[in-house]
A and B are shown apart, each in its own frame.
Chain A
Amino acid sequence: MHELSVCMELIDQVEAIARSHDAERVDTIVLRIGSLSGVEPGLLESAFEMARLGTVAEHARLRTERIEPRIRCRACGLEAEAGPSDLRCPACFGTDTALITGDEMILARVELLQAAD
């Protein structure tokens, strides 16, 4: 399960952000995970339960936004949704398409709790 490796890097990044904002702890982490990223949000969430222990994100909630594949056809210019195992152009059935979204693994947002003053 490589989701644990992904979580370790996630925690590193979140800790750095929390530190630079003098946060007491992390409240929420929002990720964008493409369905062609190779990461399963469910496995990522269970890995996160382990990876967060003893860190500033120990009590944090993890939210994942799933991003479905979208392609652009280089032949006819169409932009369209696609299935993960069929990235052809739905109009001309060309296979010369570029993936616009769907393979990303991005840390999008961190919500931090700080002592009010």
Chain B
Amino acid sequence: MCDTCGCNITDGNRHLLRADGSHRKLTAVSVLNKLLQHNDAQAEANRALFDRHGVLVINLMSSPGSGKTSLLEATIKALDGALRIAVIEGDLETENDAARIRALGVEAHQITTGTACHLDAHLVAKVLPKLDLENIDVLFIENVGNLVCPASFDLGHHLNLTLLSVTEGDDKPAKYPVMFRAADAMLISKTDLLAVLDEFSPERAEACLRKLASNAQVLRVSSKTGEGMREWLDWLNRRLEHYRNLRRENRSLSPAVQSEGRRLHGLARPDVRFKPETA
């Protein structure tokens, strides 16, 4: 009996039926694989490397032009050497952002993604050999400016920092829930413009974030005037201290949402289960 249509196949006619390909067996394989398990495996390898060297890695995400590079410049200046910083810049085309960081005497490596609208764990892994991880306290990865794609790719970092500039809508957390749900902190940037942009309400932005069941800290920073810099550096130092305490117990840190997802869906390891059955 043929599994496809129920016809009778005998040894005598089998070769005829197979010749035109119309009689083939259908096998259904049930699996429960994460679609990005290849990326996630590389991300875990990256994280293990960072952890061996005790480097706290922060993924910066936002729309284009939300001031990620300006925040990094202001941060490097305000720290004034108190922490050893390095930067990986993800950009579609240019080396401009990395050049701005290097001008401040900080190591920066550019990944030009070409047409890809996000960094992934393999792209990050490729630049890691260039970094002197033993002499870095905090590595910032400036992701491609995009509120959609970067949220889906674990890079092996420890924390997600999502920027929302006051020149954007304060309802962005509601419009891009995947991105903002992933934030370990939401940083409202360009707050010096709040005086002239009365349609942006930091309170409304925070309310949208809370509706996503997020407890992330909300920071307000102006890289231009330095307003809020102290709170942001406090947050950074507290997270670094927390990370170092975890490392002393040989533990690590992954972005809150990602670890929660893994736990809840029980897919901590790429779990390939074949359950062959004929249909």
Contact = CB atoms under 8 A, between A and B. Distances in A.
B34 A106 contact: yes
Interface in A21-69: 21, 23-24, 27, 31, 36-39
Contact of B27 (A6, A38, A112): A112
Contacts of B151: 38
Contacts of A20: 274
A74 B189 CA distance: 32
Main secondary structure of the interface of A (DSSP, over half): mixed
A116 to B, nearest CB: 5
B37 to A, nearest CB: 7
Nearest to B23: A116
Interface string B149-173: 1011100000000000000000001
B126 interface: no
Interface in B124-182: 148-149, 151-153, 173-175, 177-179, 181
Contacts, number: 151
B24 A24 contact: yes
A99 B178 contact: no
Nearest to B257: A103
A21 B260 contact: no
B196 interface: no
A1 B23 contact: no
A9 B39 contact: yes
Contacts of A71: 213
Interface residues of A, number: 47
A36 B181 contact: yes
A9 B43 CA distance: 14
Given A12-B38, A109-B30, A1 B149 contact: yes
Contact of A108 (B25, B31, B37): B31
A76 interface: no
Interface stretch (B2-10, B45-53, B66-74, B220-228): B2-10
A13 B33 contact: yes
Nearest to A3: B149
Contacts of A27: 26
Contact of B31 (A37, A110, A117): A110
A21 B276 CA distance: 9
B178 A38 contact: yes
A5 to B, nearest CB: 6
Contacts of A95: 210-211, 213-215
Interface of B: 2-4, 9, 14, 17-18, 23-39, 116-118, 120, 148-149, 151-153, 173-175, 177-179, 181, 208, 210-215, 257, 260-261, 264-265, 267, 274, 276, 279
13 contacts: A1-B149, A20-B274, A38-B179, A85-B175, A86-B211, A88-B213, A95-B213, A96-B215, A98-B213, A98-B260, A107-B33, A116-B2, A117-B25
Interface of A: 1-2, 5-6, 9-10, 12-13, 17, 20-21, 23-24, 27, 31, 36-39, 71, 84-88, 95-101, 103-117
